[in-house]
Structure 1
Amino acid sequence: MTGHNMEKRYKCDVCGKAWQCPRELEIHLRVHRGEHPFDCSECGKNFTTYDSLLLHNRVHSGERSFTCSDCGKSFKTAKSLKIHRQVHTGEKPYGCSTCGKTFAQFSGLQNHRRVHSSEPLLTCSACC
C-alpha cells in the first residue's frame, strides 16, 4: 500500500487533523501543548520540530540550497524558490474578486484591495 492510500487513523482531538502514524500525531500535539524542545544556539528561538530548527539555521548560515534552474538565483527555502519561479512562468494565482486583476503574491493582492476600500494605499517612503 502506498503512502497516498493509507488511512489517516491518528486524529488530533483538539483540531481534527489526522496522520498515518502515531509519531506524527505526537509531534503535532507539541503545538497544542506549547512545547518547543529545539532551541537555536545562535539566537535562542525555539521550535516544535528538529526540521524547523534546521530550516531556521539557514537564517544564520546564509545557506541557499534552492536554486532556480532558469536564472541560477538561489533561495533559503523551497517556498521562496516557488514564489520566485512565478517570475518565469507568469503565474498569478491571486485574483481580485472585485475587478479581476491578478497577482503573483498574496501580499500584492492584499495591497491592491485597498484600491477598492477606504483603507489608505501603502506608499514607498523613498519615492513619496
Structure 2
Amino acid sequence: MKQGTGGKIINVASMLSFQGGIRVPSYTASKSGVMGITRLMANEWAKHGINANAIAPGYMATNNTAPIRADEARNRSIQERIPADRWGTPEDLAGPVVFLASQASNYVNGHTLAVDGGWLAR
C-alpha cells in the first residue's frame, strides 16, 4: 500500500470453502477462512487499488491425492460427479490465475473462483 500502485492478491481456497467437508474439519474450517479473509481484504483494500480474489481448486491429480486415485471405488465415485469426467491438473489452474493477476480482472474483487471441472454445479 505504501507504493501506491495497487496490486493483486490471489489466495488458494478449496471446494470445501463452499461445502462442508467429511472427516476433514480443520481443512474445511481453514479453507472457509481463506474465502472469508479474501472478502475482507477486498473490502478493506479496494480503495488502495488492490484486488483480492481466490481460486478454489477441485479434485486435482497430484502426489497428495495419489492414494485416493489409487482406490478404484473412491476414484470412480469422485470422477462420476465431475462433469468434466476427469481430475484436474495443476496446469488447469494457470489460466484462472493469469486472469486474476491481469488487468482483465481489474473490476473483480472479493471473488472465489471455482476451478473444479463443474463439481460445484452438481
Give the TM interval when normalised to the shorter protein. under 0.3
Bigger helix share:
2
Q: Name which structure has the greater RCO, CA cutoff 8 Å, separation 6+.
A: 2
TM-score, length basis structure 1: 0.17
Q: Quick check: which has more Rg, 1 or 2?
A: 1
TM-score, length basis structure 2: 0.17
